[in-house]
A and B are shown apart, each in its own frame.
Chain A
Amino acid sequence: GAGVSQSPSNKVTEKGKDVELRCDPISGHTALYWYRQSLGQGLEFLIYFQGNSAPDKSGLPSDRFSAERTGGSVSTLTIQRTQQEDSAVYLCASSQMRGSPLHFGNGTRLTVT
């Protein structure tokens, strides 16, 4: 595709439920990032994938959060037992390689009720 695609664009879930967010990066981009942005706030780094290397998970806020990237392309971010403080926009971005400019998707707005 022409850009980074994220789905769903909006997700409302009940506290305690699990959610899965999907990111389709730009074809050929080896680097993929997940960020979280609360309303009016900055971008909080979550996780970084680079090619076949082990991901950098240092930004994941708790063990309820996990992410995987299959075949070096599509990535899913899973949040288990969601809490209200998980409510935010989750942004995915890809780049050609480490250090290259990031191309962001439109994000998934997660609301935990």
Chain B
Amino acid sequence: GQQVMQIPQYQHVQEGEDFTTYCNSSTTLSNIQWYKQRPGGHPVFLIQLVKSGEVKKQKRLTFQFGEAKKNSSLHITATQTTDVGTYFCAGIQTGANNLFFGTGTRLTVIP
């Protein structure tokens, strides 16, 4: 079955440092979505990537979709305490219907 792994599982950074989480799928994905879940909250949609090699930016966040459409990354520049939470990637296997979530990366920002 489809597996979507994320690394690292946990990351602690000093405020102002950069942060990157990587998402790897065992199968080709039709698209990739990224979500953020604050402690005690529910996942909130951040962005969707569809094209091979696509790069999108949202302020300090940069999202990439791999050329083979099997991996993706989220990079945060100069982290802030408001970035704290768990970041999940999610993808739909090509030809399938359901959206599988990655294992998530929990980010802690130390002020």
Contacts and interface: CB of A to CB of B under 8 A. Distances in A.
Given A42-B102, A99-B31, A105 B42 contact: yes
Contacts, number: 50
B42 A107 contact: yes
Interface in B19-60: 30-31, 33, 35, 42-45, 48
Interface residues of A, number: 21
Nearest to B102: A42
A104 B43 contact: yes
Interface stretch (B64-72, B75-83, B91-99): B91-99
Interface residues of B, number: 20
A106 B37 CA distance: 11
A50 B92 CA distance: 14
B63 interface: no
B43 A33 contact: no
A73 to B, nearest CB: 19
A104 B103 contact: no
A88 B13 CA distance: 29
B45 A101 contact: yes
B85 interface: no
A35 B100 CA distance: 10
A48 interface: yes
Interface of B: 30-31, 33, 35, 42-45, 48, 88, 90, 92, 97-104
